[in-house]
């Protein structure tokens, strides 16, 4: 098991080195998106319309942060169950998504897409959203504001603790 400090912009290149079980302290830009946002983004792709974020090289955190308390960058921001995004993940990975952050297992189609695209699936600690929020220094809604906590947000991570759950070769801690 290895430990890495990584910038989100380097995840695509770093994915080949990461192995299931490795620990990663992630910094840089990460986007939140959950079921409803994934559905809308998929519809935009189908229509050939512009996306609210560039999926190529991006990292998506499956989270719906709580409202931001005064004086903080974000409210509690723990991971949601990743399998809810499984219907959309292969398409996003084929469009260049470098990494996904969530919790729980993924289906075979997602694992195949991770391998095919040399991407990575990272797990965050569930139930620790208030602690996770301390590693987020900025939060800005960039799309689908009407979805409330499920809107797409651009976050800035600073040493956000993660574990490689599925690596780019299909190695997994979730088996």
DSSP secondary structure of the chain: --EEEEEGGGHHHHTTT--TT-EEEEEEEEEE--HHHHHHHHHHHHHTPPPSS--TT-EEE-B-PPPPPTTSS-S---B-BGGGGTTTHHHHHHTT--EEEEBS---HHHHHHHHHHT-EEEE--TT-HHHHHTTEEEEEEEE-GGGGGGSEEEEEEEEEEEEEEE-TT--BS--
Q: Which residues are catalytic?
A: 38
């Amino acid at each position: 098991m290895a430990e890495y400090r990584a910038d989100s912009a380097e995840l695509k290149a770093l994915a080949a080195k990461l192995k299931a079980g490795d620990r990663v302290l992630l910094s840089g830009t990460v986007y939140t998106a959950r079921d409803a946002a994934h559905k809308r983004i998929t519809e935009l792709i189908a229509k050939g319309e512009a996306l609210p974020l560039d999926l190529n090289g991006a990292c998506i955190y499956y989270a719906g942060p709580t409202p931001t308390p005064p004086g903080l960058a974000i409210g509690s921001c723990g991971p949601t169950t990743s399998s809810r995004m499984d219907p959309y993940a292969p398409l996003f990975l084929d469009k260049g998504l470098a990494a996904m952050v969530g919790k729980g297992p993924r289906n075979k189609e997602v694992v195949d897409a991770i391998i095919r695209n040399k991407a990575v699936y990272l797990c965050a600690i569930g139930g620790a959203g208030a602690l996770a929020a301390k590693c987020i220094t900025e939060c800005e809604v960039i799309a689908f504001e009407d979805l409330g906590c499920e809107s797409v947000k651009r976050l800035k991570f600073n040493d956000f603790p993660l574990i490689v759950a599925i690596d780019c070769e299909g190695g997994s801690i979730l088996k």
